[in-house]
């Protein structure tokens, strides 16, 4: 999608130089800064510190992180240690584990001398797949969006949570792919963007929607219910970090509350996710690990100071007790449909789209 009017992807690989460029998302929406990753350490840090974030992009970055790790040494132990290191960065988004398992599965049987080139090739294949799958989610979602009744004149009012857009993937996004497809097809859409405390990923969503020219309005998370009751929301669409076999969905904390409010207001609640986010080994949401993040994410707020420099303000003493679970689980019964690259299905019927997968 467009950044400064130019079609752009969120990640640029340079196998010939042994490096990958990413956008440092900790500096957005204030500055668009490309950051070069040249080592396993830098890739692991980028994922853990959320310089890259969003389930699909975490998976792709981890795949490239493994390619970076094999630059000087590609023996079995080195490969296993590098994969373990990357796997430990974030627990909830299954794309990370999926991408590393795919990379290891391909690389292990190869001769050591072949692994480096193969790793770069496979990481690139995962990145390309991500773009293709998100584009397909966009088209399937567009069909769905065309069918939704509008509560208010003309414009289709959507709501989203967190950032499941271009920035969270290599291109297009998951939840935002249908939004971009609708906007590009000439449908009048407007997006309510919830701020998503404490990391404020909604600011990223607002930034990328603005870059692509999609009308939107940022709201405090707690305003969602009021807007729904006032008839100002036609549908909610979110991404996912892990979808269990029964259709329960782990996504950014606060997603469950939106689903509950949708149910009370008879508003469709959609989840968009590619195959790499589906975890058929997790029977239901209870099997999904929920990341507990540093309490300083709540104790401090970030923004620009009077000199327009990035700054952090302490809003609570360092000793203040806080809890910071980063994700929640929305039960399948509250989800109107899941949109994947293969089509649209009820949350509890993922096997209709993926009959070849083993179901628990």
Catalytic site residues? 241
Q: Binding of ligand MRU at residue 206 (CB under 6 A)?
A: no
Q: What is the DSSP string of 295-347?
A: THHHHEEEEE-TTS-EEEEE-S-TT-----B-EEEE-GGG-SEEEETTEEE-G
At closest approach, how far in Å is the CB of 134 from ligand MRU?
9
In this complex, which beta carbon is closest to ligand MRU, that of residue 28 or of residue 110?
28
Span of 10-18, 139-147, 162-170, 302-310 interacting with ligand MRU by CB under 6 A: 162-170
Sign of the alpha-carbon dihedral angle for 248, 252, 258, 262: negative
Min dist CB 152 to ligand MRU, Å, is 26
For the chain, report the end-to-end CA distance as a whole number of angstroms.
Answer: 37
For position 159 contacting ligand MRU by CB under 6 A, the verdict is no
Residue 276 in contact with ligand MRU, rule: CB under 6 A: no
Task: Verify cis geometry, omega within 30 degrees of 0, for the bond prior to 66.
Answer: no
Token pair recorded at residue 234: 């036609």
Q: Which residues partner with 22 through β-bridges?
A: 11, 35
The phi, psi pair for 149, rounded to 5°, reads -70, 145
Question: Which one of 201, 205, 330, 340 is in contact with ligand MRU (CB under 6 A)?
Answer: 201
Q: How many residues form the binding site for ligand MRU (CB under 6 A)?
A: 18
Query: Rule CB under 6 A: is residue 168 a binding residue for ligand MRU?
Result: yes
The nearer residue to ligand MRU, 267 or 272, going by C-beta atoms, is 272
Q: How far is the CB of 82 from ligand MRU (least distance, A)?
A: 21
The CA distance from 246 to 134, in Å, is 22
- Position 56 contacts ligand MRU (CB under 6 A): yes
What residues between 89 and 108 interact with ligand MRU by CB under 6 A? 93
CA distance 92 to 258: 20
What is the pattern of x (binds ligand MRU, CB under 6 A) and - over residues 319-358? -------x--------------------------------
What is the per-residue binding string for ligand MRU in 246-275, x denoting contact by CB under 6 A? Answer: -----xx-----------------------
Q: What is the DSSP letter of 49?
A: T
- Closest separation between CB of residue 253 and ligand MRU, Å? 8
Q: Which of 13, 20, 53, 247 binds ligand MRU (CB under 6 A)?
A: 53
- Residue 154: which region, alpha, beta or left (left: phi > 0; alpha: psi -120 to 50)? left
Stretch in the footprint of ligand MRU (CB under 6 A) among 60-68, 124-132, 235-243, 262-270: 235-243
CA distance 220 to 327: 18
Shortest gap between Cβ of 326 and ligand MRU (angstroms)?
Answer: 5
- According to DSSP, the β-strands at 34-37 and 300-304 are unpaired
Q: Are 171 and 11 in contact (CB under 8 A)?
A: no
Q: Which two tokens stand for residue 231?
A: 């008839």
Contact 178, 272 (CB under 8 A): yes
Find how far residue 24's CA is from the centre of its chain.
Answer: 15
User: Where on the chain is the footprint of ligand MRU (CB under 6 A)?
Assistant: 53-56, 93, 162, 164, 168-169, 173-174, 201, 239-241, 251-252, 326
């Amino acid at each position: 999608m467009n950044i400064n009017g130019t079609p752009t992807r969120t990640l640029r690989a340079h196998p010939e130089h042994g490096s990958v460029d990413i956008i440092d998302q900790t500096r957005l929406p204030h500055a668009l800064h490309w950051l070069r990753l040249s080592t396993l350490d830098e890739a692991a840090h980028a994922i853990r510190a959320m310089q890259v974030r969003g389930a699909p992009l975490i998976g792709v970055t981890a795949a490239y992180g493994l390619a970076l790790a094999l630059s000087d040494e590609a023996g079995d132990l080195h490969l296993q240690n590098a994969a373990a290191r990357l796997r430990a960065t974030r627990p909830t988004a299954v794309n990370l584990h999926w991408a590393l398992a795919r990379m290891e599965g391909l690389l292990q049987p190869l001769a050591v001398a072949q692994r480096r080139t193969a790793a770069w090739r496979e990481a690139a294949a995962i990145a390309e797949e991500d773009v293709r799958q998100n584009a397909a989610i966009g088209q399937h979602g567009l069909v769905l969006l065309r069918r939704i009744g509008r509560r208010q004149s003309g414009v289709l009012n959507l709501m989203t949570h967190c950032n499941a857009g271009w920035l969270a993937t290599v291109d297009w996004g998951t939840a935002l792919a249908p939004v971009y497809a609708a906007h590009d097809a000439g449908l009048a859409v407007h997006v309510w963007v919830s701020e998503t405390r404490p990391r404020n990923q909604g600011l990223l969503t607002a930034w990328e929607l603005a870059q692509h020219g999609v009308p939107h309005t940022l709201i405090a998370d707690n305003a969602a219910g009021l807007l729904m009751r006032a008839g100002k929301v036609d549908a909610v669409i979110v991404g996912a970090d892990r979808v269990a076999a029964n259709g329960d969905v782990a996504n950014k904390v606060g997603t469950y509350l939106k689903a509950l409010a949708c149910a009370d207001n008879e508003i469709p609640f959609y989840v968009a996710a590619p195959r790499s986010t589906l975890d058929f080994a997790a029977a239901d949401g209870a099997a999904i690990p929920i990341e507990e993040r540093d309490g300083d994410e709540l104790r401090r707020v970030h923004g620009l100071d009077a000199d327009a420099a990035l700054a952090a303000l302490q809003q609570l003493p360092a000793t203040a007790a806080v809890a910071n679970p980063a994700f929640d689980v929305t039960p399948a019964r509250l989800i109107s449909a899941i949109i994947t690259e293969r089509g649209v299905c009820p949350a509890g019927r993922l096997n209709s789209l993926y009959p070849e997968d083993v179901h628990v």
